[in-house]
Amino acid sequence: MPGFVRAQGVGQKLVCAMIGAAGPEDPNGAAWLAEITRGLAEEGWTEGGNVHVEARFTAGLLNLSERFSAELAGLGPDVWVCGTPANAKNAHTLTPDVPLVFVAVPDPVGEGLIRSFNEPGGNITGVAHYEASVGGRQMGLLLEIAPDVRNVGYIYHPDGGTGFSYLRPFVNEVAVAAGVTLIDLPVRTLGEVEPAIASVAALPGPGLFVPTNNWTNSNRQAFIDAVNRHRIPAMWGHTGLEQGLISYRADTTEAFHLAGGLAGRILNGADPRNLPVLGAPRYVLTVNLSVAASLGLTVPLSILVAADRVIE
């Protein structure tokens, strides 16, 4: 089971996975681990047969990332699958000669993991999480569903890598064009979440933008509770969100599936430098009609038609 070091069978390859979720009990974490295994199987690598996947869940916490990186590096992995910039960078620093497949890294070039998407240039490849311009699409959707919003809090973890700076210019461009003020809200602890959201709620026409981040995702219930308490229209970039107004995010589950396939190809002898980084598989738009109604909002037909999922 994840978190328990099991002896490898004779002839087994070892895939070490670090996943930025709260744990195997987190539906996201369980799904992402299952997709790694599925992708490996499609390339001929069966868990418990010729391969073993040893997983750790870091929940976006740097101390856990460092601890688990060292722990897994000591097992001598044949390939890594790492979700989040911190997990990928920590694993690569400890085992620079071991191939690595990243997932959920918004800006792998800016993070210094690869040279370019088409020519990674080393022993690292992966699946891109977001195109930066998606930030503009997310902001536009928030303003479409909540046209009276005038002040939007951009809440993020400042130690979460380049994702903040990567998306923000596109978010801000749409905000400025609409006459909306974007307010940075850095939060490092759960205790800072409520005051940060309350500060925006006190402004005229408040709204909230929550970009994808594994720490905020793993603690999403605290964010959802605070947003719903203050009755703020919010755009979420998270996976598995049921109680938020609207979310537009990359299909992280499918991204981990593709990453498992890349790891399997590497185990079959492929050179990571010859495996271009794959683009985000697709984006998923979800809207919650009950939350919209509670905020006095009418969901535009354009959003209902475009939505992949509508929660009644």
Which of the pair, 288 or 128, is modelled with greater confidence?
A: 288
> Is the pTM here over 0.75, yes or no?
yes
| Residue 3: predicted pLDDT | 43
Superfamily name and number for 134-249+284-311? Response regulator (3.40.50.2300)
The sign one gets for the Cα dihedral 67, 70, 75, 80 is positive
| Residue 4: predicted pLDDT | 42
Q: Whose structure tokens read 């203050």?
A: 230
Cβ-based neighbours of 271, under 8 Å, separated by 6 or more: none
Q: Tell whether the model's pLDDT for residue 67 goes beyond 70.
A: yes
Tell me the pLDDT tens digit for each residue of 130-165.
787 889 999 999 999 999 999 999 998 887 655 567
Instruction: Tell me whether the CATH fold assigned to 13-130+251-281 matches the one assigned to 134-249+284-311.
Output: yes
Q: Which fold has domain 13-130+251-281?
A: Rossmann fold (3.40.50)
pLDDT category at 10 given cuts 50, 70, 90 is: low
For residue 183, how many C-alpha atoms fall within 13 Å in the half-sphere facing its CB? Answer: 21
Cβ proximity of 133 and 170 under 8 Å: yes
Give the CA dihedral 193, 134, 280, 121, nearest 10 degrees: -100
DSSP state for residue 280 in the 8-state scheme: P
Q: Where in the chain are the domains?
A: 13-130+251-281, 134-249+284-311
The whole-angstrom separation of Cα 242 and Cα 99 is 36
| Residue 181: predicted pLDDT | 98
Q: Tell whether the model's pLDDT for residue 1 goes beyond 50.
A: no
Tell me the pLDDT tens digit for each residue of 186-221.
998 999 999 999 999 999 999 999 987 777 777 888
